[in-house]
């Protein structure tokens, strides 16, 4: 079974494709720019993105993710992508001097599957590092230390990050739902994929 992942971020596409493969889901990348609604909730933005994809696309997945700083509730949150694109993460590091560095990454994945719309959530808590570390990933990955980890997301390999990340949680939940909806044939493909990876 196939689903179109709509995003201009190739790094996210690679993550999503890898995460959904064990569920028997093939991901097609649709690099389309979607509106970034100004709203206070990731779910609202994710729904708006999905609504912007033509209804002729019957099986579509989008997501919206944000970094949330405890010291500045709601920031950068739904504005994480434009803040990063405009300023990078330097200003965040300066803002947190002398303040709590606790933070959380959150994702909402929105799926349209043959007329049904479902939302799937993921969250990982952690803290902001004193400075950027690592060369993997994208966005804020070099400054985010997941709870209980000594390395940033950017210091982890893709498989290690996917196992604990906010996006990994949300996309795996979407994959499990798609596999249940698709029936026995898709489940057989997923089991075969699992065996090949052992």
Catalytic residues: 64
Q: In whole angstroms, what is the distance from residue 167 CA to residue 148 CA?
A: 18
- In angstroms and rounded to an integer, the radius of gyration of the C-alpha atoms of the chain is 17
Q: Tell me which H or E stretch contains 60.
A: strand 59-69
How many CB atoms are closer than 10 A to CB 58?
11
Burial of 84 (0-12, 13-18, 19+ CB in 10 A): middle
d(C-alpha 69, C-alpha 158), whole Å: 24
Quickly count: other Cβ atoms within 10 Å of residue 94's Cβ: 8
* Phi–psi pair at 3, nearest 5 degrees: -145, 145
Encoding tokens for residue 40?
């206070």
């Amino acid at each position: 079974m196939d689903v179109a992942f709509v995003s201009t971020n190739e790094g996210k596409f690679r993550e999503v494709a890898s995460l959904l493969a064990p569920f028997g889901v093939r991901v097609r990348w649709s690099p389309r720019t979607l509106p970034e609604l100004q709203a206070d909730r990731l779910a609202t933005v994710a729904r708006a993105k999905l609504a912007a994809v033509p209804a002729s696309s019957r099986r579509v997945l989008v997501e919206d993710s944000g970094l949330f700083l405890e010291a500045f509730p709601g920031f950068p949150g739904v504005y994480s992508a434009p803040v990063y694109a405009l300023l990078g993460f330097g200003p965040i590091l300066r803002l947190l001097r002398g303040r709590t560095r606790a933070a959380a990454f959150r994702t909402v994945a929105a799926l349209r599957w043959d007329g049904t719309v479902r939302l799937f959530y993921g969250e990982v808590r952690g803290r902001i590092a004193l400075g950027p570390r690592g060369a993997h990933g994208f966005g804020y990955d070099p400054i985010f230390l997941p709870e209980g980890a000594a390395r940033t997301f950017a210091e982890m390999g893709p498989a290690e990050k996917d196992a604990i990340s906010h996006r990994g949680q949300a996309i795996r939940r979407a994959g499990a739902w798609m596999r249940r909806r698709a029936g026995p044939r898709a489940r057989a493909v997923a089991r075969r994929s699992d065996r090949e990876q052992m």
